[in-house]
Structure 1
Amino acid sequence: MENLYKSIYHIFGAIYVPKDLRHSNALVHISDTPSFIYKAIIKMIKKIKPRVIIHTGDIVDDIKLEIRPQLIEVYKKEANKFINEISKYAELIILVPGNHDDFTKLRLKDNVKILNEGDVFIFDGIKLGLSHKYENLPLNCDFYLYGHDKNCLKDYYLNGIKYINVIKDKKIFKLCYPIGTDNYRLKISRMGK
Structure 2
Amino acid sequence: MDKNWWMPLYGVFLGIYVPPEVRELKGDLVMHLADTPSTVYGAVRRLVKVLSPRWIVHTGDLADDVKLELSPGELPRYRAKLEHLRRALEGDDSPGLVFVTGNHDNEATVREFFPESLVFRDRGRIELCGEGFNLSHDMSGLEEPPLRYNLFGHEPSQADCSEQGRFFLNGLLGVHIISLSLGKVYCLPYPGYVDDGRLGRRKRGL
TM over 0.5: yes
Q: Which residue of 1 aligns with 2:134?
A: 129
Matches within 5 A, 1:140-151: 140-150=146-156, 151=158
**Contact residue 131 and residue 137 of structure 1 kept, 8 A:** yes
- 8 A contact 1:131–1:145 mirrored in 2: yes
More strand by share: 2
Letter in 2 for 1:173: Y
Does 1:98 pair with 2:102?
Answer: yes
The separation in 2 between residues aligned to 1:171 and 1:153, in whole angstroms, is 13
Q: Determine helix, strand or coil for the equivalent of 2:196.
A: helix
Deviation at 1:126, TM superposition (A): 2.6
What stretches of structure 2 of length at least 5 have no aligned partner? none
Is 1:185–2:190 an aligned residue pair?
A: no
With normalisation by structure 2, the TM-score equals: 0.82
Q: Is the 8 A contact 1:129 1:145 kept in 2?
A: yes
1:146-185 map, 5 Å: 146-150=152-156, 151-152=158-159, 154-155=161-162, 156-168=167-179, 169-185=182-198
CA distance in 2, matches of 1:120, 1:180: 32
Q: How many angstroms apart in 1 are the aligned matches of 2:117 and 2:20?
A: 27
**Matched residue, 2:49:** 46
Deviation digits for residues 27-74 of structure 1 (CA, Å, limit 9, x no counterpart): 000000001111111111111110000000000101111101111001
Check 1:173–1:3 CA distance in 2 against 1; reply closer, same or farther (3 A cut).
Answer: farther
**Structure 1: runs of 5 or more not aligned:** none
CA RMSD of aligned residues (A): 2.5
Runs of 4+ in structure 1 deviating by more than 4 angstroms, as ranges, are: 2-8
Aligned length: 192
- Deviation at residue 18 of structure 1 after TM alignment: 2.5
CA distance in 2, matches of 1:87, 1:192: 31
| 1:70 counterpart = 2:73 | yes
Asked whether the 8 Å contact 1:96–1:114 carries over to 2, the reply is: yes
Percent identical pairs in the alignment equals 29
Take 1:164 and 1:28, find their aligned partners in 2: how far apart are those partners?
A: 7
**Cα pair distance change 1:4/1:44, threshold 3 Å:** farther
